[in-house]
A and B are shown apart, each in its own frame.
Chain A
């Protein structure tokens, strides 16, 4: 054979071989090595250099530090054998930016321990969440579970079961939410805690629990949620005891000097509430119809004789759609509030009926930076009757309240530092509200938070302008377990 032929073969072999043992190549995990039909592992791919766990003789990879204590993962499984316990301890404290004469010394100053228990039995699950609170600001520490007053706030106490394949039932104290708005609600007529929202508690406290029976039915045609609340669960509304507001009876901003007295519908099975939602997904679009029968959730009228605030009868119905549009998520929600005690709008002391509308859009602007925008409309029915009923000299509300909201969320430091800004602005009322929050997760348990609530308005009597004496800043320290 020609010398050059031999040399070429040699060269080819060498090149091919050197490619096989390329220094950049990762070593074979040992389980894969055994899958190889080739008997010989080439140089550099020897057993000792293989990552562990890929060898059939050693299937268990070494645990990294911090995970090597297997017991650590056993307490929180869903085995159904024991109560699972979660919760947190939190200190939260705030200051008024400019204290009003009739205000408590601080917006909040409290220690809170939340215990969340859950146990699974065959066929049903029991859940109890209780907050134990030392509230330095509260005037009254006796417990009133429905009003959320006192040293105990029972957030949940319910059982969940499925009596049939197509049915889920949740019975007891529970938090309820539906609808498409972001911090703006139309067809979600479940109880809200506006005090918690305005004075700087965590946003999850905006939702107050309801005592309810929720039955959910699932079918290909559509799904149906039916909710019955045997006794009216009002909002934890602004009453002056903590946040000051515009008192329409007195015609000025009031606080602790004139805490709202209410005549609250309170008869079990008589003053009840009923909610329903019929919903269906068509592709990526979520469609829903809503209905509600009950009462205005925050005071929506006043008794001319006693001056007590009232929760007039309310029937509401509406619809929503949500789904992808352009590069984001768009939503539209509409509702009609039928104020049954003042259908023709003559009664100045009872809210008129209203149309409400939300148009929203949210999009990721950049990695970990999201912008959400909403337009919100409240439009009074029978505006002419309202104007005619209005005594001379009393300032009239606009027929339409237009509001815009913007939410900016920015996650930094591996999503451990969360910047959040939410702004409400109404061009028709010339008022606004800015919610700012900064949260840092120090580790898996400990987080710190700082934020503020700022209000402004040309007039004292507009929806957001009435809160202009409640500007506050707060900090919180939370340990989760």
Chain B
């Protein structure tokens, strides 16, 4: 009887928690897939106006204004079976500052190979192919990396659910290959209902937190929970970038042909407006 009691003592709490866990906690894979879909793949295409404020360690401010158009290869938002995943194309048009005004940047993002990137320089009428393959390079001089804007492949990291709080799934992501990255791991606080990563913290090889990405504002647009303001703090350098997203629109029926050399040379004004 004493043994039975001891076993019961150990197991009883589990009986209370198990049904809760089963209903509330999806698998790690499901969490990261849903979060990835919400952050980068919502709708079949989209447009956003971006206003960026870069503040360097000395407090000097630089401003960027750009329009981003996006189209997905996968015509689905279904997370089950990863139907939403696939290549994507991005068209980035720069409005400000003056030295990059009217430049256009085209990215064909692939899941299985390096992205293709082109930059159009209007003063030279030059369509330049960009050789850069490092995705953890600053995007237009900001604290955002290319990877922050277009996404990081999920299979590049091992994901571990380290904590479930009232609001968040806390996921620790450890890269499978440390060579290509400057972090040793990063922790994501993924909002349980919307799957928006509200905060992402990067730790360096010494285990020190040095970089924090935050969602500062969220709106539900056309039914999609959408980050409308985000920031990245570089704690080591002391710089910070705040991005604001306005005029967000999804499923506007963008033509795949928009993401070609034709529209690098001739900006698609209707779609940029």
* Chain A residues near B (Cβ < 8 Å): 2, 4-5, 8-9, 12, 16, 19-22, 25-26, 28-29, 31-33, 35-38, 41-42, 45, 51-54, 59, 61, 63-67, 73, 76-80, 86-88, 120, 125, 160, 162, 168, 170, 174-178, 203-204, 206-207, 216, 218, 223, 279, 281, 284, 286, 322, 324, 327-329, 331, 362-364, 366-368, 370, 372, 414-416, 441, 443-445, 447, 480-481
**Do A32 and B166 touch (CB < 8 A)?**
no
CB within 8 A of A218: which of B51, B121, B262? B262
**Interchain nearest-CB distance for B257 vs A (Å):** 7
Q: B3 within 8 Å of A by Cβ? A: no
A51 to B56, CA, bound (A): 23
Query: In chain B between 48 and 95, which residues have their CB closer than 8 angstroms to a CB of chain A?
Result: 51, 53-54, 56, 60-63, 65, 95
A414 to B143, CA, bound (A): 8
A-B contact count (CB 8 A): 224
> Which residues of the partner chain A approach B121 to less than 8 Å between Cβ atoms?
204
> Which residues of the partner chain A approach B198 to less than 8 Å between Cβ atoms?
26, 28-29, 32
Ordered by A's residue number, 19 sampled pairs between the chains whose C-beta atoms are within 8 Å are A19-B164, A19-B165, A20-B166, A29-B196, A29-B216, A53-B228, A59-B217, A64-B242, A66-B63, A73-B51, A162-B266, A168-B262, A204-B121, A204-B124, A363-B131, A364-B134, A415-B141, A443-B62, A447-B99
> Which residues of the partner chain A approach B261 to less than 8 Å between Cβ atoms?
223, 279, 281, 286
CB within 8 A of A368: which of B95, B137, B272? B137
> Which residues of the partner chain A approach B98 to less than 8 Å between Cβ atoms?
86-88, 444-445, 480-481
Q: B108 within 8 Å of A by Cβ? A: yes
**Do B51 and A36 touch (CB < 8 A)?**
no
Q: B167 within 8 Å of A by Cβ? A: yes
* Interface size, chain B (Cβ < 8 Å): 84
**Do B196 and A480 touch (CB < 8 A)?**
no
**Do B165 and A22 touch (CB < 8 A)?**
yes
**Interchain nearest-CB distance for A81 vs B (Å):** 11
Query: In chain B between 118 and 136, which residues have their CB closer than 8 angstroms to a CB of chain A?
Result: 121, 123-127, 129-134, 136
A281 to B257, CA, bound (A): 12
**Do B63 and A35 touch (CB < 8 A)?**
no
Q: Which 7 A-B pairs have the closest CB atoms?
A: A53-B217, A480-B98, A61-B217, A26-B199, A444-B97, A204-B123, A12-B13
**Interchain nearest-CB distance for B75 vs A (Å):** 20
A395 to B221, CA, bound (A): 74
**Do A329 and B131 touch (CB < 8 A)?**
yes
**Do B219 and A59 touch (CB < 8 A)?**
yes
Known: A2-B5, A204-B123, A207-B124. A67 touches B63 (CB 8 A): yes
**Interchain nearest-CB distance for A20 vs B (Å):** 5
**Do B101 and A329 touch (CB < 8 A)?**
no
**Do A324 and B116 touch (CB < 8 A)?**
yes
A329 to B97, CA, bound (A): 28
> Which residues of the partner chain B approach A216 to less than 8 Å between Cβ atoms?
262, 265
**Interchain nearest-CB distance for B49 vs A (Å):** 9
- Closest residue to B192 on the A side, CB-wise? A36
**Interchain nearest-CB distance for B110 vs A (Å):** 8
**Do B218 and A29 touch (CB < 8 A)?**
yes
Q: B41 within 8 Å of A by Cβ? A: no
Q: B194 within 8 Å of A by Cβ? A: yes
**Do B51 and A45 touch (CB < 8 A)?**
no
Most buried by B among A52, A168, A329: A329
A65 to B189, CA, bound (A): 27
**Do A324 and B114 touch (CB < 8 A)?**
yes
CB within 8 A of B262: which of A29, A79, A223, A366? A223
**Do B62 and A444 touch (CB < 8 A)?**
yes
